[in-house]
Structure 1
């Protein structure tokens, strides 16, 4: 009776005596549990089928570990079940009917495809520890993720361009926010939702589109098969000014980079609308640029640039030297008569 009470009173954390190490046991299933070696004194922890690298504790002298009670008991007493303990040092065979939980790495294979997610794979070259798993299923392999928009090929055992990967029954993600890495936020403050941090191509046609995530009108994204395949920034126009991405200026595509001087005013640009019935007329630049003007030719507007150091003279509707042009574009002081 006294020995029974003492067995329950010995806490695991107080057992610090070290015994001679036996062969490392193998986790018999995918549960979270403790397992022992053949001597039932050294205790390892199993997490999702992965055994810890070293024993997490060792029972004291003349004591053994009881798996059912999850504590050390006196050797040879009532609760000593070491002789009937399910200890094994041989890897159990993989059940052929269970392929929904996790994949076992094949000898010599650097990686294996995840069962359900086409962007995930098992890195079989790196053995996982109990700290690596953190709740993810593992049998010695760490779950990795391909960089967006790559997918894992079950043929080449590598992350490949999505056009060359057949996902089969695995879920095929198309958006940045479908990848696990998109959940990581680098901001030290409150993290905005994923759709506010990553542009999406879902439902968009193939080709370039405006980047609605940023406030820079010169930024654009390139979509293909609902995936974001590139991001870019418009170059300078012929006047040395930054072009903007113009959705209505696709010329057969979804948009392209245009000079603000070539975009109609009703679309946010500076290009004026030619008055009806006027076949030729020139206008000053509404943006205040002194070296440019606009021409209306047969109801079509065009931006022009004065040559050299000349500026546009709105009084004469020609390019002229600054000394003859009224301020602010010229140096001449003019008064309205």
Structure 2
């Protein structure tokens, strides 16, 4: 079903403006002045107070247009769409008015994953929508501060997934990208390992090792020597000089 195009209505309204007729009782204001609207005859945004209303700037005048009953302005569109359709991203408040779903910058915890959250993002159209975000490894999202915080300070909600390995975070996955080195090759894991220094699983007897804290990788390290080749001893848990007898038993 095609919606009603707001800008088509605006074009007709502009003809009225050219005859200096006031529309919806709105005069020029600071938010819609000739200087701020320079270079564009028509600019518009969906009202944050009522999704069925568009606020338009026509030749320096602020004009409002309201969709017909049963319709709202769709997300990122200049069309009125049916309430409840897939393009209707508005929510209903107590008085029945349908409003934009969020205030840009606000955040909400993701109840399925302790490292994820939703943030209200401003769209180029002027509308706003909630988008799923993820904390940088190894941070988790704090439902009290509404920010990503050190994992030691967070108490996750029962039922939430609590990621520990770098590869548990989507940001470290290849996500279908071509020529991407797998996460397990790029990042070490402390899963099942004690706190402190540990050999990099899969790279034992190499120069590479990790520092673990509550099964999180806090640092990926490398043994380095000025003149000798050093490797990390998985039992002694220290860097030692490379020696075939120690590693291969001969």
Check 1:144–1:17 CA distance in 2 against 1; reply closer, same or farther (3 A cut).
closer
1:93 aligns with 2:122: no
1:243 aligns with 2:233: no
Match of 1:127 among 115, 122, 127: 122
- The number of equivalent residue pairs is 191
Question: 1:212 and 1:256 mapped to 2: Cα distance?
Answer: 15
Question: 2:7 and 2:223 mapped to 1: Cα distance?
Answer: 69
Partner SS for 2:132: strand
Aligned counterparts, 1:216-295, within 5 A: 217-236=206-225, 240-249=227-236, 255-260=237-242, 265-268=245-248
More strand by share: 2
Listed one character per residue, the Cα deviations across residues 107-160 of structure 1 (whole Å, up to 9, x for unaligned) are: 797432222211011224x32579x9xxxxxx7332211011110111222211
Check 1:216–1:171 CA distance in 2 against 1; reply closer, same or farther (3 A cut).
same
1:159 aligns with 2:148: yes
Structure showing greater relative contact order (alpha-carbon pairs closer than 8 Å, 6 or more residues apart) = 2
Aligned counterparts, 1:53-68, within 5 A: 54-55=77-78, 57=79, 67=82
Check 1:16–1:152 CA distance in 2 against 1; reply closer, same or farther (3 A cut).
closer
TM-score by length of 1: 0.45
Check 1:23–1:165 CA distance in 2 against 1; reply closer, same or farther (3 A cut).
closer
What value does the CA root-mean-square deviation take over the aligned residues? 4.3
Unaligned runs of 5+ in 1: 1-10, 28-35, 46-50, 59-64, 71-86, 95-103, 133-138, 250-254, 273-337
**Regions of 4+ moved over 6 Å:** none
Check 1:208–1:128 CA distance in 2 against 1; reply closer, same or farther (3 A cut).
farther
Question: 2:214 and 2:46 mapped to 1: Cα distance?
Answer: 53
Unaligned runs of 5+ in 2: 11-43, 53-64, 95-100
Listed one character per residue, the Cα deviations across residues 82-104 of structure 1 (whole Å, up to 9, x for unaligned) are: xxxxx9xx95238xxxxxxxxx7
